[in-house]
Amino acid sequence: MSFPHISEADSEEPSFEATPTKPAKKVLPDRTRAARDKANKKIVEFIVKARGADEHLQDILKSKKPSRWLKEFLNAPPYLTCIETYLEDDSQQDLVVDYLEKVYQEVNAELLPRVNGNNIKFILDVLFPEAIIYAISAVDRIDYKKAEEKYIRGPLLSQRERLIFEEEILEKKRKQRLQQETPFAL
């Protein structure tokens, strides 16, 4: 028996080139972000629900404990500075900041250092890092100095997260470039 000869134009199957193609690699979900969110949730719960950092913050506000962040705040220029937060989730940040505002209000204003009416800057520049560092120290059961180093280093990002972030930035730039090149037609 012989098979009928079908021309390439009649065939429904695509023609294959001589060079082999790599099989599609299945991309597994990146679990690092989920693990960081879970760890950060424990930190937030320690600060807000368990009120674990209260005594530490009270001691700093009453000048019983030295604070690197308070020292930097007092020596910083009066204009607004940009701070890095350890927490990536906005709702977690909001919970901690709201709680720190309450702690700040509970302390007698005379006991506070020269805040000069800039309460929010004081909370973000001094109380926020102190609370997070103290919580990292307690939750991870590490020394305060090591927790401070971990806070300063920030969350560790996976290679995939960096690539995704870079791709998002490049996509935004492409869109901006396209908008600039093509004027709006009305």
- What confidence tens digit (pLDDT) does each residue in 137-185 have? 999 999 999 999 999 998 877 788 788 888 999 999 999 988 888 766 5
What is the per-residue pLDDT for 1? 55
Burial class for 145, CB neighbours closer than 10 Å (0-12, 13-18, 19+): exposed
Domain ranges for the chain, please list them. 32-178
Per-residue pLDDT of the chain (186 residues; tens, 9 = 90+): 555 555 554 445 444 455 555 555 665 567 888 888 899 999 999 999 989 999 999 899 888 899 999 888 888 776 656 667 788 888 999 999 999 999 888 876 555 656 666 788 888 889 999 999 999 999 999 999 999 999 999 887 778 878 888 899 999 999 998 888 876 655
Contacts 24+ apart (CB under 8 A), 62-68: 62/107, 62/111, 63/111, 63/113, 67/126, 67/130, 68/148
pTM score, whole prediction: 0.70
User: Do residues 44 and 50 touch, judged by C-beta distance below 8 A?
Assistant: no
Find all residues with CB under 8 Å of 32, minimum gap 6, and list them.
156, 157, 158, 161
The owner of tokens 């995704």 is: 164
Distance CA 36, CA 138 (A): 16
Looking at residue 107, what DSSP letter applies? Answer: S
User: Do residues 122 and 73 touch, judged by C-beta distance below 8 A?
Assistant: yes
